[in-house]
Amino acid sequence: MIELNVLLVEDNDDDRYLATRAMKKLSRPVRLEIARDGAEALRRLEGDGTPPAPQLPSLVILDLQLPRLNGSDVLERLRHNPATRELPVVIASSSDHPDELDRCRRLGAAGFIVKPLDAAKLEGLFATLAV
């Protein structure tokens, strides 16, 4: 079975811990990278502009409420960059604020998942996205 590479962008220690635990329980192998804020995520995904370009993960799970640069702004920047335009980005949030979720839909979020993350939610997400 092919390993799934996931970048989790999450600033909360408890949510990172729960997501990491959930990933270990999945039916397929997952290589998990973590970025603790939006700026760190963009550095990881876009690199510093010099070759070689960074290898992109299979999927990004992006929290909306992040320090330095919030999740919807990260998603907007990813969608404007030709190298990351098609990268599947799933929004993870404990909030269901309609304006923010609508903005993410318009920006091309691949899906939404409610925190805290658990193995059943992640398995369903991966099946839906066929990643």
pLDDT of residue 3: 86
Q: Cis omega (within 30 of 0) on the bond before 88?
A: no
Helix (H) or strand (E) holding 76: helix 71-80
The pLDDT of residue 7 is 97
Distant-in-sequence, close-in-space partners of 130: CB < 8 Å, separation ≥ 6: none
Alpha-carbon distances of 89 from 69, 108, 109, rounded to whole Å: 16, 8, 5
| Contact indicator for 9, 63 with CB cutoff of 8 Å | yes
Output the pLDDT for position 96: 67
Cα 55 to Cα 99: distance, rounded to the nearest angstrom:
32
pLDDT by 10s per residue, the chain, length 131 = 678 999 999 999 999 999 999 999 998 899 999 999 999 999 999 987 777 778 999 999 999 999 989 999 999 999 999 999 999 999 998 876 778 888 889 999 999 998 999 999 999 988 888 77
Specify the pLDDT at position 33.
96
21's CB contacts (< 8 A; 6+ apart) are none
CB distance 47 to 53 below 8 Å: yes
What pLDDT was estimated at residue 99?
83
CATH class of 4-70+77-129: alpha beta
Q: Which residues have C-beta within 8 Å of that of residue 38, sequence separation ≥ 6?
A: 9, 66, 67, 68, 69, 70, 71, 73, 74
Domain ranges of the chain: 4-70+77-129
Whole-prediction pTM value?
0.93
- Write down the pLDDT at residue 1: 66
Q: What is the per-residue pLDDT for 129? A: 86
